[in-house]
Chain A
Amino acid sequence: MRYSEAPIFFHGALQCAASVQGKGLAIMIKMENVCKNFGDLEVLKNVNLEVREGEKLVIIGPSGSGKSTTVRCMNFLEEPTSGHVYIDGQELTAKNRTKLVRESISMVFQQFNLYPHMTVLRNLTIAPVKLHHKSKKEAEELAYHYLDVVGLRDKAHAYPTMLSGGQQQRIAIARALCSQTKIILFDEPTSALDPETIQEVLDVMIRLAKENITMVVVTHEMGFARQVADRVVFMADGQILEEGTPDHFFTNPENERVRQFLGKIIRS
């Protein structure tokens, strides 16, 4: 597949700022003492985390460790039982979440969650038109631009169910880009894919990672983590056990639990 060489940012909505990513820049996401319980189950136990503008944060860890819940708290798909979440300096609350999420955060899901009753083009334009008050023409221009970015311009008039999983996920990424938010959350974006379509999605994400978008990615793709992450966070049992640069992580982790986990992943 060929990707267009067009720049990812469009209409100058977001400018590529400092090239030194994650250093000395504004804090885009801040989680402060976040706890989340589902009934008696404590899924998050006092999570503290900061993500800076343009930073690529990768969250890894065994399943059931609270990785997904952590990113889902960042856009209030899950409301923390206690603690605070700040987006770009503003506290995220049940009251302001619709507005704040609309303006600042997009999300890419494990199961894509495209709207099956709409064409690809409509999937991409509905939020810009209905929520961001763009004209239909503007929104379509934007949509075709991002379809080029993910290499699927020819699928504009297809319905999601007609596409393969990898294609659906690339459309979902284009949909997230159409909202032109500073933050994109990825919740295990390749976990539901056939092995042979994982790479096409990762390629798109690697390309995004070169831009100044703040990305938080929950993934099991260690190669991806190593290649694009500015920082890696390891979670287990609802807590952050270790965080550091990919180099630190993959060559010399301090925590025994991390070593065990990486040992298993790399062996398999």
Chain B
Amino acid sequence: MSGIFSLRAWEKVWLYRGTFLLGLFNTVRTAVFAILLALALGILFGLMATSGKRALRAVSRVYVELIQNTPVLLQTCFLYYALAFSGHSIGIITTGILALGIYTGAYMAEVVRAGIEAVPKGQFEAAQSQGFSYLEKMYYIILPQSIKIMLPPMVNQVVNLIKNTSCLYIIGGADLISLTYSFVTGENTGGAYAPAYLISGLLFFVICFPLSKTASSWETALKRREQRQVFARKNAGGKEAMADE
């Protein structure tokens, strides 16, 4: 009855639809909080990576390299089991939020760093010369210019994070992938492999695809706007304005 055309298998999936929706709910819930954490960490460590203080840059570098060069699965296990055995159990959902947030935060930090570094040095100097403090400079002058560069890769990281909730499986999570797996291997529910994984995949797809689409259309719009600006500048006869870049 595992066949993709087995009506019984599909019926079983429909009967247990609550399981899939619960999994989806847990995945989305974990993802939302993890995204917020990742954003906060990304902005913090991204700003540190571009600061003038060497110690801050070093701390940021260590964080990014440690997290990017070890598996997220290991980080999840470390957080869950290592902490659990030292007597600080924090629960599966919290572990998921922390592990995925910290993991994606490292990538977000790189996105933020790249976005800030893409802004010409003269913009920082102009803001400083007007007497903007560090935070004012970032808030009014630099980040508004880098946000459009940062948004598309940020959304891609969000999509990755949502898919990475499947890592919770290793610590016995109740996310969509974990529940799908227990469904297809369960004593009473087992067997409906093809329909179950199709449905599970479809649920991921309907969340992630619009996000990816948004990211790529932002990217296209951004490129088009840049071309328009170059064109406008040429028309204005501002040859020297381009020497700037």
Contacts and interface: CB of A to CB of B under 8 A. Distances in A.
Interface of A: 75, 77, 98-99, 101-103, 105-107, 109, 111-117, 126-127, 130-131, 160-165, 167-168, 175, 179, 185, 192-194, 197
B217 interface: no
B240 A106 contact: no
B241 A105 contact: no
Contacts, number: 96
Contacts of B201: none
Contacts of A105: 129
A75 B237 CA distance: 32
Contact of A164 (B126, B237, B243): B237
B123 A164 contact: no
- Interface of B, secondary structure class, is helix
A163 B236 contact: yes
B122 interface: yes
A103 B129 CA distance: 11
A190 B48 CA distance: 35
A98 B120 CA distance: 20
Contacts of A192: 240, 243-244
Nearest to B131: A102
20 contacts: A75-B129, A101-B128, A101-B129, A102-B131, A107-B125, A109-B125, A112-B244, A113-B122, A113-B125, A115-B126, A131-B132, A163-B241, A164-B236, A164-B237, A164-B240, A164-B241, A165-B239, A175-B130, A192-B244, A194-B240
Interface of B: 120, 122-123, 125-126, 128-133, 136, 140-141, 144-145, 229, 232-233, 236-241, 243-244
A103 B229 CA distance: 34
Contacts of A109: 122, 125-126, 129
B128 A77 contact: yes
B126 A161 contact: no
Contacts of A107: 125-126, 129
A201 to B, nearest CB: 11
Nearest to B235: A162
Nearest to A100: B131
A114 B131 CA distance: 15
A7 to B, nearest CB: 23
Nearest to B122: A113
Nearest to A127: B130
A117 B145 contact: yes
Contacts of B239: 165, 194
Contact of B129 (A77, A161, A168, A193): A77
Contacts of A130: 132, 136, 140
A39 B239 CA distance: 34
B14 to A, nearest CB: 51
A105 B122 CA distance: 17
A116 B245 CA distance: 12
Given A117-B145, A164-B237, A194-B239, A98 B244 contact: no
A149 to B, nearest CB: 18
Contacts of B130: 101-102, 106, 127, 131, 175, 179
Contacts of B123: 113, 115
Nearest to B128: A77
B238 A165 contact: yes
A98 B129 contact: no
Contacts of A103: 131
Contacts of A161: 229, 232-233, 236, 238, 241
Q: List the 6 closest pairs (A to B, CB-CB), nearest first.
A: A102-B131, A165-B240, A113-B126, A113-B122, A107-B129, A127-B130
A101 B243 contact: no
A168 B140 contact: no
Contact of B244 (A111, A117, A131, A179): A111
Of B128, B141, B144, B241, most buried by chain A (CB within 10 Å of CB) is: B241
